[in-house]
Amino acid sequence: MANTVLLYSTYVFGTIHIIYMIITLSNNHVLNCNILFGILTSIINHKTTSELAKWTDRIMMINGIIIDIYVTSSIRDTYIQYISFYLLSQSILSFVISKIILFIRHTSDNGYSIKILNLLFHIISHLLLTLLHLLLLRYY
């Protein structure tokens, strides 16, 4: 198994996504498919060590960012739109920081502490995307 912590993070935040999609009876098929495929590729990526799974997940992430920007731009409430763009940008930043930390981990002697930081920022990215998608499901 590639990364148990991130796999469980995906399970938890993915479940929250799906439950909220059901509760809100979301009829935005593009957003719904984006979320479901994102959860699926994330589970596969974090469950395996496959390069194909990793790059499929990253391609889905880029696709997801584009869809999130489109959906956020379509929201009429400028306050919700601002919060949504903020959550998206911070999620991306958190993911990038996690990758920078991962790079530092490979060049450092203090691997365990750095691994915890890497996981923390990656999980924060999952959390922020979940909050973003809850807003988008509610207001789009």
DSSP assigned state of 119: H
The identity of residue 21, as a single letter, is M
Query: Could you give the CA distance from residue 39 to residue 16 in angstroms, rounded to a whole number?
Result: 11
Structure confidence by residue, pLDDT tens digits, 6-15: 999 999 999 9
> In the chain, what percentage of residues exceed pLDDT 90?
80
**Looking at residue 110, what is its pLDDT?**
65
Structure confidence by residue, pLDDT tens digits, 98-126: 999 888 866 666 667 788 899 999 999 99
Q: Are 30 and 67 in contact (CB under 8 A)?
A: yes
* Residue 117 CB-density burial (10 A; 0-12 exposed, 13-18 middle, 19+ buried): middle
Q: Are 84 and 72 in contact (CB under 8 A)?
A: yes
CA 83 from centre of chain: 16
> In the chain, what percentage of residues exceed pLDDT 70?
94
CB atoms within 10 A of CB 68: 24
Structure confidence by residue, pLDDT tens digits, 44-91: 999 998 999 999 999 999 999 999 999 999 999 999 999 999 999 999
